Amino acid sequence: MPDGILVTILVGLVVIVVSMVLHELMHAVTGYLLGDDTAKQQGRITLNPLAHIHPIYTVALPLVLLSLGGPAVGAARPVPFNPSRLRWGEYGMALVALAGPLTNLALAFVGSALFSLIAVNQFWADAMQLFISINVVFFVINMLPIPPLDGSRVLYVFMPDSVRDFMRFMEPFGLFVVFAIFIFGQQWLSPLLLGAIDLVLGILP
């Protein structure tokens, strides 16, 4: 494997872990601020990666996909929460769900600002572009309205009972649907992801 590709994979893995840890941390912090200390009791309000990462879904799967030139798709350990303890009921649940993807979107904009304002060398530029790309991908994928992704938690609040029942039925199979989209839906997913990345890069001068 060429050294440049190896470096890209290693930088990508670091970005993935950092981005996923902050994503899950903000789920936990938001739940706690809304009155549910379930995540806090289980040690999830921490920057320690070991509390959040899953060895296969957070590390091995994205590493394999990056090495094959694919998108950095993966998952961390879900943050536990008790909906009945959250303020504002289902709207509180939606806020907890939104906290993770919005954190990735904010990180993408931070990366875009650093990319625009600081010019160190080509390695820095490549690392920032990878940082932006991975966080935009995390935001877009997590906002898909497919259980158990975060977007489905937001959609759930506004759906009638019949749709909610279907979403609950689909939840155990949701990750298989997501992977199927990545395998068979690249013709529409890739333009969506590339367009979102270009949008973030183009907002700041």
Active site residues: 24
**What is d(CA 77, CA 162) in angstroms, rounded to the nearest whole number?**
29
Angle 22-23-25 (CA atoms, 0-180°, nearest 5)?
A: 60
Q: Using the structure block, give the residue that is written with the tokens 């990750």.
A: 175
**What is d(CA 104, CA 176) in angstroms, rounded to the nearest whole number?**
23
